[in-house]
Structure 1
């Protein structure tokens, strides 16, 4: 609550102030103080120590307080022209003279415009200016010997003059002047209260900062030294405030900061047994440095904090990075898929994503997770084709100590447990073996898992998003995928269109990738209109992933700044597999479909000179899956050299 103190040495004036304070409803906010003029400065200093926000005073008493350099604002009750006119009129009445000879004994703050008013009212006025309280008796004695008709002044002046038998008039303040001063003081007090609150907030921010913080003046005197600085520099703020910075911290570059306003960052120095990192920032007012802030940290603490953060990130490394806005495209097809994905994210239901390789199945899975109520929980992705069946089982379900040869002593959490309250993304679900499918089905039904080698169930709360680049219904007909699992997975289905079916997206994505890799590799490559058109005519069996990698390779190796259709055609044909082989005609595809899986793999390997990457792309499977099938069918790699 704000504190306002009113000080006066005039009892009559004090009663007048009480009435004005009551009229304004400020009785609870204004404390009235009566004192002798000689005690005014002592009282003001006492009020300052009591956190008073503002002092109100009048005349000489106000001037004495101001001259005492009190650090709180002083509001004066000014003598208005009306107040002075009233005093001059009273002087005429008392003396019975139309132009009395008047001595005005006053401090400087009491005589503003009084001479002009005296001329207007035909007053023969002489002003005797006071500087201190002791001057009053001297001036009264002097004036008493000069035969003035009447003496004007404040309370003490009038009292001393009357003791010498002189006629006097005391200068008074009107109610308007008193109320104006009270209202002004109230505004100042409110402003100071806000300043105090802000100062306390700033102090708390400084004191509870983990960084050492020192504020210094232009002459390097320490103004602020927080608790962290006390700890790091092994000193006391109480002892250091007011001393020069050099007494505790030797910073060679501080002068350039204070004189030129230069900022200094990451300056490393040894302080006793510690190495600290120091930053220095100037405090600039009206383009002139008036001081500086010095912040510093113990480098070992920084390293410990970084290690802790890294460990926490590793402990929570299963984070979904992508959102729907990261999936680029302008086609109505991709816009519709993104709309459906947004709707799917609003419900906590098992979801199946179907799409060719490179269409962005995991991007959509991550986006659905990040838009869902599980976004703050783990997102864990596992490629079912990348791991052998027994390893995939232990990764998904975990194991207890001694479950199998090589099992760790403490056992291991499975991915289902790690994904608790989050999302588990099962990519290439079509490659999971029959036993794994049956265990997954049970998880979907019972919402609990059992670790390998254990005899108890662990309840889990996990959303499953599965993905496949194969026709699961066809696999069901062939007996390679469980029908009951399929129906459990396809509660919601998201079909991703291949790039060739996304109207306008090939050119849009190509432009995006050109811009991205130009910036990445500091290139200035542009494609002509016919080159963009040529890109749209290519089938892009690897979809967005293939286009992305192709553009990156183009930017890095082309050596030209303008790419035409002819250059692009040669570039496409000079890749590690040519466009004719990679895009297989429909007739070739149809003939392959008539072959068994083993025969199909052998045929594709031979046509591609046993190029694993090319063969995997043609077959629509990943390279780990192809390697596993080569092992199953005992197919040897026989590359021909030309």
Structure 2
């Protein structure tokens, strides 16, 4: 349907309409209202009632009356421009220097300026009723003025008196008005279309919707709102919302200009779940919106969805792209996983608890050709042994007391053409292992109580946090099943073996739990040193819990390290003490801890000198907290956890076998590690070999509090920076001070405080 423009015309004004018509396509239709002043009223009312035109256009006196009569439809007035007046004046000047200008209701504002500019004489007259026009013309004629400028009505009456008339408008002026009218009509059509769509949405959506203006007056109340609240729309519209909903909070939302989500509200005998929010337009409050649902219906719908998803099988939500890890070891595993996903062979995923075995299995499924088929997971340890068999293989009706009518499919059948993920596979009994082995080999199952074989096309992925081969040797796991499962094997590393990924994972979890945190704050929290040094026995699952705890506790301005200490304190209680791993220093040896046991005579945690470095604290100290009492072998420095050890315990009595500062094979005091402190010749200074790395945090046996360790760790790092600068500068304090960006006296004081001067003597 095209645009319809109604133009109020009179007499010869219609010629302008014919001149501009060629500029418009057939989509624009002109409706001519050939009437004058009061006679326009009935025609305008009829057109508006029928909604048969989009915009009204009028000029002069007719335009004034038209604007008064139009109620709902947009109106555009043909305006007289200075250019139009100049053209009319130029035509009139051909006949004489005196010209009359006649307008309806008001004067043309720029006439006096034009008169001064052109030095012409223009006599202005204004009339207010059609009956006055003849007298106005007579007055001008009696003054010797024979040329007048005005509208079509004025020119018609002037011609009857023998006067020459000149139109006050130009073709361009009329066309400009019509262009505006077309644009208004198109915008109106677009707005109407949007309004219709919005109205349709409001009346068809399941949620109830109430909209108010900024005063809280209801101006929208949809059909669902009527059904849920059992209130007629007519009783609500145009009334204050608190009058029709006594316990509403929309008025509070308007007052506070703050959203409220997922709030339970009682309306009569109905409980609803509602969301409320203020509505803004260009930064100004213009109203409020509430959407709500009947809680009973929400619960019923959720149940239906759950039942439907169960019948269709589960969906794997994680992909390899979603898994966080940048270290080479993790990326190698992902690469292997992508290759394994191309095969239908059985995969065995091993790894400690919390390393992400199920997420890895989901990623394998989504990377495979079975990604559009079901991913069915079952935790074998979570299902009681007497039920596990029926969950795996299903059962027929009447197979046992309480069996469902019609029987039930097991997970093997539910996973048909997809992937079956069996977590904690090491927990299944020997009896079930035998049936499981047959199902894997034959790709067919017998339901309990059944009489026929059900073939299945599945890809099996199993996971365990136990050593299955050890279980095989102990007779707790079938050897033939082990080999059937262990076709393609993947071992997921513990978090302590991929420490470079810890900041990345912390940042990822902070984005999930606190998306409002600035990037800088997230990076600060992710970079806390002792979070990277902690041994994380629960791996990524434990890390996620700690980060969520940090996200909940964090408030603007909080100290990052104090926050992490508070979040980790729960783990300390559960773990029975801080469990740490060495990273570049003394693995498990207290000699790598600033102020650590065995290194400080009565000054655990406080004395400068750090890292096993206090004079007289090289492990030969009787009464040293790391204790060499009873240690045979005379280990003069193996204080890091050798208490009670018999001097030659192979495997490093300090604890981190194979660790960076390791004491593997050290009998009491062997200096086997790169950061080694056990019996180290550098002992008191603590600067041997790899001492430039994170100091090992306090061991479970250490009385050193975490806060003291943090302080000591900062002192150690500052000490290491000074020692490194001195080495680079050949021992020159002047050059080292320049390199560090401090004065020579400041460097001297720091060296004295950190015990560096004494060690250099």
- Is TM (by shorter chain) over 0.5? yes
Q: Alpha-carbon deviation of 1:399?
A: 1.3
User: 8 Å contact 2:535–2:580 — kept in the other structure?
Assistant: no
Distance, in Å, in 2 between the alignment partners of 1:454 and 1:448 is 13
Give the equivalent residue in structure 2 for 1:505.
498
1:2 deviation in Å? Answer: 5.2
The separation in 2 between residues aligned to 1:157 and 1:21, in whole angstroms, is 24
For residues 261 and 385 of structure 1, the distance between their equivalents in structure 2, rounded to whole angstroms, comes to 48
Q: Which residue of 2 aligns with 1:62?
A: 63
SS at match of 2:422: strand
The change in CA–CA distance for 1:558 and 1:436 in structure 2 (over 3 A counts) is: closer
Are 1:283 and 2:279 an aligned pair? yes
Residue 150 (structure 2) aligns with: 153
Contact 1:399 1:452 in 2 (8 A): yes
Q: How far, CA to CA, are the matches of 1:504 and 1:234 in structure 2?
A: 62
Q: Which residue of 2 aligns with 1:73?
A: 74
Distance 2:457 2:137 in 1: 99
The yes-or-no answer on 1:198 pairing with 2:202 is no
TM-superposed CA distance for 1:335, in Å, is 1.7
Is residue 140 of structure 1 aligned with residue 134 of structure 2? yes
Matches for 1:571-610 after TM superposition, within 5 Å: none
Residue of structure 2 in register with 1:621 after alignment: none
SS in 1 for 2:460: strand
Partner of 1:599: none
Contact 1:434-1:482 at 8 Å conserved across structures: no
Q: State the alpha-carbon separation in 2 of the partners of residues 26 and 246 from structure 1.
A: 52
Contact 1:222-1:243 within 8 A present in 2 as well: yes
Describe the superposition over 1:94-115 as per-residue Cα deviations: whole angstroms up to 9, x where unpaired: xx53234x2513344x824233
| Structure 2 equivalent of residue 341 of structure 1 | 337
- SS of alignment partner, residue 278 of structure 2: strand
Deviation at 1:453, TM superposition (A): 1.9
Q: Does 1:466 align with 2:441?
A: no
1:390-439 CA-partner distances (Å, limit 9, x unpaired)? 75443311111233466455433212123234321234657767875665
Instruction: After superposition, give the CA deviation of every residue in 1:174-222 in whole Å (9 maximum; x if it has no partner).
Output: 3323333333333333333332332233223322233322323344443
Q: Is the 8 A contact 2:33 2:40 kept in 1?
A: no
Question: Which residue, 244, 250, 258 being the options, matches 1:248?
Answer: 244
Q: Which residue of 2 aligns with 1:113?
A: 110
After superposition, the Cα gap between the structure-2 partners of 1:6 and 1:172, relative to the gap in structure 1 and judged at 3 Å, is farther
CA–CA distance in structure 2, aligned partners of residues 68 and 548 of structure 1: 70
| Equivalenced residues, count | 560
CA distance in 2 between partners of 1:248 and 1:45 (Å): 37
3-state secondary structure, aligned to 2:98: coil
> Would the aligned equivalents of 1:2 and 1:189 in 2 still touch at CA under 8 Å?
no
Q: Flag the 1:198–1:451 CA change in 2: closer, same or farther, 3 A.
A: same
Q: Which residue of 2 aligns with 1:630?
A: none
Superposed displacement of residue 5, structure 1? 0.2
Name the one with the larger helix percent: 1
* CA pair 443-190 structure 1, distance change in 2 beyond 3 A: farther
CA distance in 2, matches of 1:514, 1:20: 66
Deviation sequence 1:247-270 (CA, Å, 0-9, x none):
633357555555564556667665
Paired with 2:263 and 2:533, the residues of 1 have a C-alpha distance of 55
- 1:36 and 2:35 aligned: yes
- The 3-state SS of whatever aligns with 1:97 is coil
Q: Distance in 2 between matches of 1:529 and 1:253?
A: 47
Q: Which residue of 1 aligns with 2:752?
A: none
Q: Is the 8 A contact 1:330 1:504 kept in 2?
A: no
Does the 8 A contact of 2:535 with 2:579 survive in 1? no
Whether the 8 Å contact between 2:422 and 2:461 is mirrored in structure 1 is yes
Specify the SS of the correspondent of 2:205.
Answer: coil
- Could you say which residue in structure 1 is the equivalent of 2:289? 293
1:352-501, aligned counterparts within 5 Å?
A: 352-355=347-350, 357-358=352-353, 360-372=356-368, 373-374=370-371, 377-383=374-380, 388=385, 392-404=388-400, 407-427=403-423, 439-440=435-436, 443-444=439-440, 447-467=443-463, 469-470=466-467, 481=478, 489=485, 493-496=488-491, 499=494
SS in 2 for 1:412: coil
Say whether the 8 Å CA contact 2:55–2:75 is kept in structure 1: yes
How big is each residue's C-alpha offset from its partner over 1:346-401, in whole Å with a ceiling of 9 and x where there is no partner? Answer: x361332253554654442233234444367332124389765x754433111112
User: Aligned equivalents of 1:348 and 1:175: distance in 2?
Assistant: 78
Q: Deviations over 1:552-585 (max 9, x none)?
A: 63366778999975589989999xxx99999999
Q: Any conservation in 1 of the 2:468–2:482 contact (CA below 8 Å)?
A: no
**2:247–2:267 contact (8 Å) kept in structure 1:** no
What's the CA shift for 1:505? 1.7
Please state how far the C-alpha of 1:325 moved relative to its aligned partner.
6.2
Instruction: Please state whether the residue corresponding to 1:67 is helix, strand or coil.
Output: helix
Structure 2: gaps (5+ residues): 514-523, 547-567, 582-589, 598-604, 606-624, 627-639, 644-648, 659-761
Query: What is the aligned partner in structure 2 of residue 351 from structure 1?
Result: 346
TM-score normalised by structure 2 residue count: 0.60
Residues 329 and 271 of structure 1: is their aligned pair in 2 closer, same or farther, counting only changes over 3 Å? Answer: closer
> Equivalents in 1 of 2:392, 2:500: separation in Å?
40
The answer on whether the counterparts of 2:98 and 2:123 sit within 8 Å (CA) in structure 1 is no
Counterpart CA distance in 2 for 1:250 and 1:454 is 62
Structure 1: 5+ residue runs without aligned partners?
587-642
Of 150, 158, 171 in structure 2, the residue corresponding to residue 175 of structure 1 is 171
Over aligned residues, Cα RMSD in angstroms? Answer: 5.2
Q: Relative CO higher for 1 or 2, CA cutoff 8 Å, sep ≥ 6?
A: 1
Describe the shift of the 1:457–1:572 C-alpha distance in structure 2 as closer, same or farther (beyond 3 A).
farther
